[in-house]
Every structure is written in C-alpha cells, then in structure tokens.
C-alpha cells in the first residue's frame, strides 16, 4: 500500500514537472497580461491572431513541417535499404560498424555537428549554410539512428533471412520480394521510427539555429525570438508547436495503423 | 505407395549429389558426398547436429554452392543455376510463413510470382488447402494458427509451385510430440500421393526410420551409411551407426573365427562372414529374452549371459531392464507385464540368438 502510494506520487510529481510548464504556456497564450503575477490576467485571442498575421511565423511552421516530413521519408528509404543490406550480409564486422555509426549522432552534441557543418559547407562563392537543404541533411544525419534502430529490431524479429530464402525458392524476383514481403513486414518498425524522427526534427533547435538563414528558419528558431516580442505571443507560438506536433504524431499513428494493422494488430 | 513407386521404379534420379564437398574455413561441412535420390523417393538425412545435413540440403536448394562436385536435379547439372530457377520446394523448422499475408495468400504467393493465370492459382490453392486439411482457414493470418497448422500451410506453399524436389529441414522439431506424430504421417501421405522426390533432414532417427524409403546417416560431413530403415537398424555399418540409430548394446572383444566371439572371457556365438580379429558385437535390447534356469551352456546359435538386475525404466509398452554381466551393463527390453517384476539385485539370465548379434 505504502509502496503503491509512493510510486503513484512519484509519477504525479514527474508528470507535473513536465506538464505544468506546458499547461502554463496554454493558459498564458489566452492571457492579456502576464507580468508579476502567478497567472496571467484577462482573456484574449489576439496572440493567435498575430501569429497567423505574421508571415515569418507561418512560413517557419510550413518550413518545419516540410523538413520534418522530408526527413521521415528520406530516413525511411535509407534505413530500409541499409537495414536490409546489413541483415542479409550476415557479417559480424559490418554489423559492428553499423552499430558504431548508430551511436555517432548520439555521442556528438548537435551544437558540435552544427559548427562542423558551417565549417564544412561554407566556401567562398558557394555556401550551403542558410539553405533549408543543409538543415534537411543535418536533420537526417541527426535522426537517422532513431529510424534504423526499430527497423533493425523489426527485421530481426521477423527472421528475414528465412523469409527471403522462401521468396527466392518460390521464384519471386527481388523486386516482388521487397515490395510484397519486406516492406509490408517492416511497416511497424517504419511507423515507430517515423514517430521518433518526425518529433525530433520538428522540435530540433540547436542545428536549426546555426544552419538556417532568414528564409529557411524553422519554427523553434522563430519561437525563441518570440520571447523578445511578448510573453503572451510566445506562449501562443509554443502552444501552436505542441499542438502541431501532437496532431502530426496522431496522424502518423493512424496512417501507420491503416497500413500495418494486419501485422501489428490481432 | 507401391503403385507410385513401381511405375517409376527404374526411372532416373530425382536428385543426385556427385562427390560434393563444402568447407567453412578449415572445417569440412560436407566432404565428398555422393548420393542418388530416386524420383518419387522419400529419403531422410539424419545425423547429430553439425554433421552437414543442413548444408547438404542448402546445396540442393542452391543457397550454398559446393566447393567441389555437382548437384543434379532431374539429371541436369545445377551448376550456375540460381535457387530461383531450381523449382525446389522448401519447408523450414520455423515455418517462415509471410506474416503479412493470409493463409490463402501465402499458398498463392509462389504461383503469383511465377505469373500463373488467376483461375489456375485459385483452383490449385484450394486443392492444396484441402489436401493439408486447412480449407476452412484460408482467410486466417499465420499468427492465428498453431505451430502444426502453420507447418501444414508451409507445406502447401512449397508444393504449390509444383517443385521437382521437396526439401524439408527439421520440419517437425518445433512442434510438440503429439502434433509431431500426426504430422509426420501426413507428410508421408502427401508425399506418397504427389509422388514428389523428397529429402527430409532430421536429427530424430525414429522419425527418419518411420517415414522414409531410405535413410542416409551422416557424420562429420561424410555419408556414414545409406539404406532402407530396416537395414540400417539391423545391420549398422559402424559403431556410430549402431549407436545413433536406436539403442544398442555394444560389447568389445575378439572374433576368433568360426562364429566364435570372445567377450570378457566368455565365448559367444555369432553369425558373421568377417575375418578374425578385435571386433565389437552389437545386440539390440529387444533381442534379449529372459532364459530358464539351468547351466550356462552356449550352443552354436543361442547365447546365455548370467548377471544381476541393476535397474529398470518403465517405457509404456516396454520395460527396459539394465543388468550387469562381469561389470558391464547391458540393456534388455521386455514387454511390460503385470506380475513377476524384476527388481534391482535380482539374478538374471538373458539369452539372445546368434543370428540377432551383429559383428563389426
């Protein structure tokens, strides 16, 4: 009983620590004034109206969604092929190298990666720094392990080698094998990888603030600037980001389920 | 079974291995194996794990290329023929059904990949599902089926492409004993009805003996013995074969010629054509029988051993009695019967006929 009470209160503490600031943001986004009081005073939708009137914020949100979506798509394609190749080769050395590569982006702080990218892709007369393509590349490199991991676990769980041999012995071409057997059976892994990488890309700040320019700013970058405008405005922008993130993830889950329900469900 | 086989009696070989060998590093996985499986024949390959039986199977399917020698299917060399083109049906131990497809889609997969006409696929799949007794589960997904049911589907899927050879790699090893026994004879029935050349790999000698036309015993990558089940059981070619197939009493001694074998100072009679010299005598436990009391007098065709019961195990229909003779422990199988139970320490006289001893 005591143990139960302890673990429940610990969980409540954890949730309130994480959720309370977010909840305050939500309240603050509807408040007229928030200065020197615990809670904001008054009620207004003005901050949201301003958010949608300012082209910079709208463009940044579109840019964020665009980059997150492309990150997921490209990550998915790269990961399926890589994981398939690493699994089929059955080489212990290649597997070790693969595992090491997956650790790299986690071991290297994004701020180091961002500085490196500025150095590496900034030449006289031709610079990638400031373009959304460079940020896309950075996000792909940064989030790739989080797509690879679930896929690797997935392909091992379905014991792909045996399935592939089965396809071959039944006379199926490589293309048929990949399209009709590999991809459908990897969908659960793709969905969980997509959830991870989409959320990471959408909220990523460090790389974005270093690599992007005025025309390629993502939402977290402009959100940071919003705090210099006014508290209520910043709260509205934050709430919008959280809402977008949640809706996208729910959407991803639903899309994934409709494709892979046959495998995961039941 | 006889009509299928006699019709094809003198026909060509379904699968032929000609001096095939395969090395992994310094290890001979398979060494110089030559073996012909007749068309329509059910051949089992048995042996302890690591004996090369699975490698041999994979050389037939084409997933492993032999370092030396040749694999022939239907008389044609398979050199350079990829697995996709060999028309070999495979069944694995872990079923390897496609999880994203229904039972029907699994069975139809090969036929679709080979672009059979739609109505032919439908008819064939329906016929196969009926053959394996799964016609009412056509819409189910593999995860809803038991292991035995999954293996039935795997069998139907392998047969769907009308393969020239059917390869089964320990297909029953993952199933529980009861299902294993039922499915064993169903595989045999289906094989007999379709008359397909079949190579069946297993480590279970009892399984191999009960369903095969012939059994190939492998050891350390080489073929140890090849023969019909009764022959393998009655006249093993080596101590290894005698030990691996069934339970055996092995008595080491010296053959003196003229049907006399000396073991621990006793002279035993045996029927053999071999030359005198050190030898091992083998007697199956069920060939022993309790003998009447009386003097130990070995006649040329009956041997009697006197000893004491050490212990016994009840095996259902049989009771296996361990008894010791001059310090050596031998096993005797008796039909389980009520009354007159032997117990440890009892004196025992066991007899066996000279014809039932096998000398190596």
Minimum-distance CB partner of A171 among B92, B144, B161:
B161
> Which tens digits make up the pLDDT trace of A87-124?
988 889 999 999 998 888 888 899 999 999 888 988 88
d(CA B197, CA B282): 34
- On whether any CB of chain B is under 8 Å from the CB of A254, the answer is no
Rounded average pLDDT over A182-203: 92
Using a CB-CB cut-off of 8 Å, the residues of chain B touching A256 are none
Shortest distance, CA A174 to any CA of chain B (angstroms): 10
Minimum-distance CB partner of B100 among A168, A169, A262:
A262
Locate the chain B residue with the closest alpha carbon to A262: B100
Q: Is B133 left (phi over 0), alpha (psi -120 to 50) or beta?
A: left
Shortest distance, CA B90 to any CA of chain A (angstroms): 7
Rounded average pLDDT over B330-358: 83
The whole-number pLDDT of residue A265 equals 39
The full set of domain ranges for chain B reads: 247-359
End-to-end CA distance of chain B: 34
Q: Whole-model pTM?
A: 0.81
d(CA B152, CA A89): 30
In this predicted model, which residue has the larger pLDDT, A2 or A82? Answer: A82
Identify the CA nearest to B333 among candidates B348, B321, B341.
B321
d(CA B344, CA B96): 50
Helix (H) or strand (E) holding B167: strand B165-169
The whole-number pLDDT of residue B299 equals 63
Of the residues B73, B97, B109, the best mutation for testing chain A's interface (the one with the most A CB atoms within 10 Å of its CB) is B109
d(CA B346, CA A215): 100
Contacts of B305 (CB under 8 A, 6+ apart): B266, B325, B330, B349, B350, B351, B352
Whether residues B94 and A159 touch (CB distance < 8 A) is answered with: yes
Q: Which of A47-56, A216-225, A247-256, B1-10 has the lowest mean pLDDT?
A: B1-10
Whether residues A180 and B83 touch (CB distance < 8 A) is answered with: no
Query: C-alpha dihedral over A125, A126, A131, A137, to 10 degrees?
Result: -160
Rounded average pLDDT over B98-127: 94
d(CA B320, CA B187): 31
The whole-number pLDDT of residue B189 equals 92
Whether residues B98 and A166 touch (CB distance < 8 A) is answered with: yes
> Which tens digits make up the pLDDT trace of B56-103?
999 999 999 999 999 999 989 999 999 999 999 999 999 999 999 999
Of the residues A154, A158, A169, A185, the best mutation for testing chain B's interface (the one with the most B CB atoms within 10 Å of its CB) is A169
* CATH 2.40.110.10 correct for B247-359: no
Is the per-residue pLDDT at B266 higher than 70? yes
Using a CB-CB cut-off of 8 Å, the residues of chain B touching A162 are 92, 94, 96
Whether residues B96 and A163 touch (CB distance < 8 A) is answered with: yes
Where does the pLDDT of residue B260 fall: very low under 50, low under 70, confident under 90, or very high at 90 and above?
confident
Helix (H) or strand (E) holding A233: helix A231-264
Is A16 domain-assigned?
no
Q: Could you tell me the sign of the dihedral formed by the alpha carbons of A191, A73, A153, A110, in that order?
A: negative
The whole-number pLDDT of residue B297 equals 61
Which residue do the tokens 């092929």 mark? A81
Is A22 domain-assigned?
no
The whole-number pLDDT of residue A67 equals 96
How many domains does chain A divide into?
1
d(CA B336, CA A93): 58
Whether residues B92 and A166 touch (CB distance < 8 A) is answered with: yes
Domain at A135, CATH number: 1.10.3720.10
Is A192 domain-assigned?
yes
> Which tens digits make up the pLDDT trace of A118-154?
889 888 888 888 889 999 999 999 999 999 999 999 9
Contacts of B71 (CB under 8 A, 6+ apart): B15, B16, B17, B18, B20, B59, B60, B62, B77, B78, B79
Whether residues A167 and B113 touch (CB distance < 8 A) is answered with: yes
Where does the pLDDT of residue B294 fall: very low under 50, low under 70, confident under 90, or very high at 90 and above?
low
Locate the chain B residue with the closest alpha carbon to A169: B84
Minimum-distance CB partner of B83 among A162, A163, A169:
A169
- On whether any CB of chain A is under 8 Å from the CB of B143, the answer is yes
Average pLDDT, chain A: 89
Identify the CA nearest to B252 among candidates B330, B168, B199.
B330
Whether residues B109 and A170 touch (CB distance < 8 A) is answered with: yes
Judge whether A222 and A62 are in contact, CB under 8 Å.
Answer: no
Cross-strand bridge partners of residue B43: B199, B214
Is A35 domain-assigned?
no
């Amino acid at each position: 009983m005591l143990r139960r009470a302890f673990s429940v209160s610990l969980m409540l503490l954890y949730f309130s620590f994480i959720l309370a600031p977010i909840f305050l943001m939500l309240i603050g986004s509807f408040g007229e004034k928030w200065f020197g009081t615990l809670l904001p005073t008054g009620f207004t939708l003005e901050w949201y109206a301003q958010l949608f009137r300012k082209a910079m914020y709208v463009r940044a949100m579109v840019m964020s969604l665009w980059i997150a979506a492309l990150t997921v798509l490209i990550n998915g394609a790269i990961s399926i092929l890589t994981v398939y190749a690493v699994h089929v080769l059955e080489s212990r050395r290649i597997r070790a190298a693969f595992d090491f590569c997956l650790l790299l982006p986690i071991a290297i702080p994004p701020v180091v990666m961002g500085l490196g990218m500025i150095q590496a892709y900034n030449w006289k007369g031709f610079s990638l720094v400031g373009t959304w393509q460079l940020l896309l590349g950075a996000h792909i490199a940064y989030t790739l392990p989080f797509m690879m991991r679930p896929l690797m676990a997935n392909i091992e769980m379905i014991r792909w080698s045996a399935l592939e041999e089965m396809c071959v012995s039944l006379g199926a071409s490589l293309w048929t094998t990949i399209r009709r057997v590999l991809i459908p059976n990897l969908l659960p892994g793709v969905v969980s990888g997509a959830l991870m990488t989409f959320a990471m890309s959408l909220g990523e700040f460090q790389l974005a603030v270093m690599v992007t320019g005025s025309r390629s700013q993502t939402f977290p970058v402009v959100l940071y600037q919003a705090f210099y405008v006014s508290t209520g405005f910043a709260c509205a922008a934050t709430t919008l980001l959280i809402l977008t993130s949640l809706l996208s993830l729910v959407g991803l889950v639903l899309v994934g389920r409709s494709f892979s329900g046959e495998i995961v469900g039941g | 079974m006889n009509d299928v086989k006699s019709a094809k009696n003198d026909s060509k070989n379904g699968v032929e291995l000609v001096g095939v060998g395969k090395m992994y590093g310094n290890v001979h996985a398979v060494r110089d194996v030559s073996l012909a499986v007749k068309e329509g024949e059910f051949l089992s390959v048995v042996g302890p794990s690591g004996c090369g039986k699975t490698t041999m199977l994979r050389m037939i399917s084409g997933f492993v290329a032999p370092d030396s020698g040749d694999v022939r299917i239907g008389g044609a060399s398979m050199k350079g023929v990829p697995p996709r083109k060999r028309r070999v049906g495979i069944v694995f131990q872990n079923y390897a059904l496609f999880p994203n497809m229904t039972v029907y889609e699994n069975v139809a997969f090969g036929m679709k990949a080979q672009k059979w006409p739609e109505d032919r696929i439908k008819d064939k799949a329906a016929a196969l599902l009926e053959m394996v007794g799964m016609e009412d589960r056509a819409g189910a997904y593999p995860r809803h089926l038991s292991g035995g049911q999954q293996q039935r589907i795997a069998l139907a899927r392998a047969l769907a492409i009308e393969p020239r050879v059917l390869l089964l790699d320990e297909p029953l090893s993952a199933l529980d004993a009861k299902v294993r026994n039922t499915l064993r004879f169903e595989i045999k029935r289906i094989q007999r009805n379709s008359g397909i050349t079949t190579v069946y790999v297993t480590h279970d000698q009892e399984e191999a003996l009960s369903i095969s036309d012939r059994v190939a015993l492998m050891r350390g990558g080489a073929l140890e013995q090849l023969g019909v089940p009764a022959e393998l059981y009655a006249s093993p070619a080596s101590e290894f074969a005698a030990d691996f197939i069934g339970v055996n009493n092995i008595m080491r001694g010296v053959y003196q010629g003229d049907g006399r074998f000396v073991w621990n100072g006793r002279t035993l009679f045996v029927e053999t054509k071999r030359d005198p010299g050190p030898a091992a005598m083998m007697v199956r436990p069920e060939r022993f029988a309790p003998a009447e009391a009386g003097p130990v007098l070995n006649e040329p065709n009956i041997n009697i051993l006197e000893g004491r019961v050490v212990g016994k195990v009840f095996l259902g229909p049989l009771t296996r009695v361990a008894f010791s003779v001059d310090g050596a422990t031998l096993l005797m199988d008796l039909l389980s019967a009520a009354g007159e139970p032997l117990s440890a320490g009892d004196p025992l006289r066991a007899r066996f006929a000279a014809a039932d001893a096998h000398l190596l």
